[in-house]
Structure formats: structure tokens, C-alpha cells
Amino acid sequence: MHERLPHACSNIVSHIAGCMRDEICKYIVETKAQFSLMIDESTSVANVQSLIVYVRVCFKGEVCTYFLGLVPLTSATACAIHTELTQFLCKWGLSENILHDQLVGFCSDGASCMVGQFNGVATLLKQKCPMVKTFHCMAHRLELRVKNAADTVNVTSHFRAFVDQLYKVYSKLMSPKNQAELNAIANLLSLELLKVQKVFDVGYDGHFRPLCQCEQCYMITQLTSSIFLIMLIVSPTEHPRRKAGIEVWPKTPVLFSVE
């Protein structure tokens, strides 16, 4: 019974999602409402490529955005994405004729495979949907501008190196044993142990990432004194592996330098 429960929950969620998706597509078809598509390609932690699809349509005088589905991709090329997208839309009643008459907008992250002049997904859509206007996602544009601005400021570049080093140490090189030791030290100092995420990274995952970057940077600056306090308590020279002649970390770690 318990083994079947997760599958039953998944089936119920899939059924409800299918009914909602069917209602949205029926509304577009029956009312002949003009609509736009927002898509983004992503790779999961299981290394599976997928295409997330949103639709924007006017409902009762208000522009609404609905999640339409997650489409598995066999390839991340523009042609493959266009084929999988059109097949997915046709499956739910949005045929090529409807796309030709009612599709007016296409929004993406601005990658070359999406908005390429000759073989981009937007270009392939415009060949069959002449009313389509292409938009570059504002969140992605802002993210790129923030990254470019950070790269042009020397002090910010040094701080970025410091933050990336923290992410590397606490997210990639942290073994379960070291994580347990860090938790014990945090409890000893009555500190809340926060997870450091990759701050300076281009992408949009549903959160306003530039704001998240500012919050994480502020958090790191506030915890800097605690970090150095922990480093003093757990001195590299006193580490049992260092005593055995095994290098643990540089004796004089250089996180960043300001010239």
C-alpha cells in the first residue's frame, strides 16, 4: 500500500494538470483569443533536457500566465525544440492553423538557438506564424546586465572570486564528515548555518535572481567574521590530516586581494 502511494499521488497530480491544461487550450480555441508563448530549455540534475512552456492569454480582461507543460527534449537544437514544441501544442488542440491565426508573441532567454536569425526557434515559428513578435525575457536581460556590470568593477570581481571560492568549498568539496564538524562548530558558537549557493550565475529559475544575489552577498558579508572565527578554531596546522603530512588546504589561503 505504501509503495503504491507515491505513484497514486503522481497520477492524481498528472490528471489534474491534464484537465487544467485541456481547459486552457479549449478556451484559446473556442474564443479565438490571441496568445503568446514563453519557453526556456533546462537540464535537470539527472542530466535530462526539458523544455518548460508557459502561455499568456487574456482571460476576462486580464492578461494571465499559465504553466502549460514540461516537454522532454531529444536534442537541444533549434529544429528539435521547434518540432517538439509544435507537436506538444498540437497534442492539446493548438494546431498549426490556430498557431498561424492566433499566436502573436514568443519570449525566450535570448540564446542563439532560440532567436537565431536563420535557424532559431523564433525564426522557424515566424515562417508559419507571421504575426509572431519576438521578445527577450526581461529577467534574463537584467541578469546579463548585472553580470556585465559586476565584471567591469575590479573590487566586485575580487569579491566574486571570494564568493565563488566559498561556494566551491562548502558545496562541492564538503564531505559528510566535514559537514558534521561544521554543524558542531556552528552549534557551539550558537550560529545558524546557512547554505551558500552560487551567487554570480546567469539564469532564471523562477526567482528574481539579481535580488537574491544582493541578499546572499549581504549574508556573506555579515558572516565573514564568523567564518574567520571558525577558521581560527579549526586551525589547519592542528588538523589531524595535516599532522599526518596530508595537505588539507593552503596554509595561507588567499581568497581575494584588493590592489
Q: Which residues make beta-bridge pairs with 55?
A: 37, 66
Beta strands in the chain (DSSP E): 35-43, 49-59, 62-72, 103-108, 133-136
Mean pLDDT along residues 219-247: 51
pLDDT of residue 53: 95
Of 35-49, 193-207, 227-241, the range with the lowest mean pLDDT is: 227-241
pLDDT of residue 174: 64
| pLDDT tier at 51, thresholds 50, 70, 90 | very high
Instruction: Report the percentage of the chain scoring pLDDT > 90.
Output: 33
Q: What is the pLDDT of residues 2-45, one digit of tens each?
A: 555 667 887 888 888 889 999 999 999 999 999 999 999 887 76
pLDDT of residue 223: 53
d(CA 205, CA 42): 9
Mean pLDDT along residues 138-147: 82
Structural domains of the chain ordered from first start: 5-136 (3.30.420), 141-243 (no CATH)
d(CA 255, CA 158): 9
> Is pLDDT above 50 for 72?
yes
d(CA 137, CA 56): 13
pLDDT of residue 41: 87
| pLDDT tier at 66, thresholds 50, 70, 90 | very high
Q: Which residue has the cell 492553423?
A: 97
d(CA 104, CA 131): 5
8-state DSSP, 20: H
Single out the residue of 95, 77, 78, 98 nearest to residue 87, CA to CA.
95
Hey, what amino acid is at 210? Answer: P
